[in-house]
Amino acid sequence: MRFGAHMSIAGGVDRAIDRAIEIGCEAVQLFTKSSNQWKARPLTPDEIARFKEKAARYGLPTVAHDSYLINLASPDDALWEKSITAFREELERCEVLGIPYLVTHPGAFGEAGLEFGIRRVAEALNRLHADLPGYRVMTLLETTAGQGSSLGYRFEQLAAIVERVREPERVGYCFDTCHVFAAGYELRTPEGYRATMDEFDRILGLDRLFVFHLNDSKRELGSRIDRHEHIGQGKIGLEGFRLLVNDPRFAEHPGLLETEKSPELHEDVENLRVLRSLVAS
């Protein structure tokens, strides 16, 4: 697995690559804009060129994550339209930067119901695909923990969205270990891990799984509470990650940390060390 982490873009999107290389990442995830604002500062030609040059120079797989404000399942028409506009801009930024994957949480349906939320996300993706023909960037629906009315905590929910998408080849999946575990899928034993991956393959297809988020869980199996913990220090524990990082099917997949960190990034350094120590020689 290509181990890496989510990195800050302070100072420009290309600085995420600099920070990733400085601590020994083999892949990187970033926001292409501020994650807590709707408006985005335009990318300059120099910034785009620097990002592409650094990504090529280091051979670093790059993944983007969209803003947490976006809710493609929202029953509020104004918020839904605003979310579609913002997600379109994020896709456009990924396309110009040459980032192949844009990860998004499917969204929350509020009081409108699960089926409504599923239809809402699919309709949003269909509109975006029609508006942006020929784009190479792929939307990755992320598995979720299932807090509140959030979509995506069962593999069947993600499948139901993609079944309604007219260009399904433009959609893939991101597997978050903390979220999947909190949603009730076992990862800690060989039997549990195998059953979870078999179920994912049967319902969604491992050939459509492109990125992993590597996070331990502060909360127990099936809690449906999304709280990330450092690798090996949570309820999943080292054995669950050992099983995953030694699975040959995912040898070239980006495995990205989203755990808490200080400006010095020493927590990322330690988590990367732990992950690498689990890989069988």
pLDDT in tens, 4-27: 999 999 999 999 999 999 999 999
Q: Check the annotation: does 264 bind a ligand.
A: no
Is 65 annotated among the ligand-binding residues? yes
pLDDT at position 10: 95
Q: For residue 172, what pLDDT is reported?
A: 98
For residue 228, say whether it is annotated as part of any ligand binding site. Answer: yes
Q: Please tell me the predicted confidence (pLDDT) of residue 137.
A: 98
226 marked as part of a ligand binding site = yes
The predicted model scores a pTM of: 0.97
Q: Answer whether 12's CB lies under 8 Å from 33's CB.
A: no
Q: Confirm or deny that 142 is annotated as ligand binding.
A: yes
What was the pLDDT predicted at 146?
Answer: 96
Tens digits of per-residue pLDDT, 43-99?
Answer: 999 999 999 999 999 999 999 999 999 999 999 999 999 999 999 999 999 999 999
pLDDT band at 281 (very low <50, low <70, confident <90, very high): confident
Whether 6 has a binding-site annotation, put simply, is no
- Per-residue burial over 33-55, b if 16 or more Cβ lie within 10 Å, else e, is beeeeeebeebeeebbebbbebb
Paired strand residues for 63: 29, 101
- Report the alpha-carbon distance of residue 211 to residue 246 in Å, rounded: 15
Please tell me which residue, 40 or 69, carries the higher pLDDT value. Answer: 69
- DSSP letter string, the chain: -EEEEE---TT-THHHHHHHHHTT-SEEEE-SS-TT-SS-PPPPHHHHHHHHHHHHHHT--EEEE--TT--TT-S-HHHHHHHHHHHHHHHHHHHHHT--EEEE---B-TTS-HHHHHHHHHHHHHHHHHHSTT---EEEEEP----TTBS-SSHHHHHHHHHT-S-GGGEEEEEEHHHHHHTT---SSHHHHHHHHHHHHHHT-GGGEEEEEE-EESS-TT-----EE-TTSSSSHHHHHHHHHT-GGGTTSEEEE-----TT-HHHHHHHHHHHHHS--
Residue 187 has pLDDT above 80, yes or no: yes
Q: What's the average model confidence in pLDDT over 159-172?
A: 98
For 227-280, the pLDDT digits (tens) are: 999 999 999 999 999 999 999 999 999 999 999 999 999 999 999 999 999 999
Per-residue pLDDT tens digits for 207-225: 999 999 999 999 999 999 9
Residue 179, annotated as binding a ligand:
yes
Q: Report the pLDDT averaged over residues 30-45.
A: 93
266 assigned to a ligand binding site: no
User: Looking at the domain that runs over 2-278, which CATH code has it been given?
Assistant: 3.20.20.150
pLDDT in tens, 110-144: 999 999 999 999 999 999 999 999 999 999 999 99
Domain boundaries, the chain: 2-278
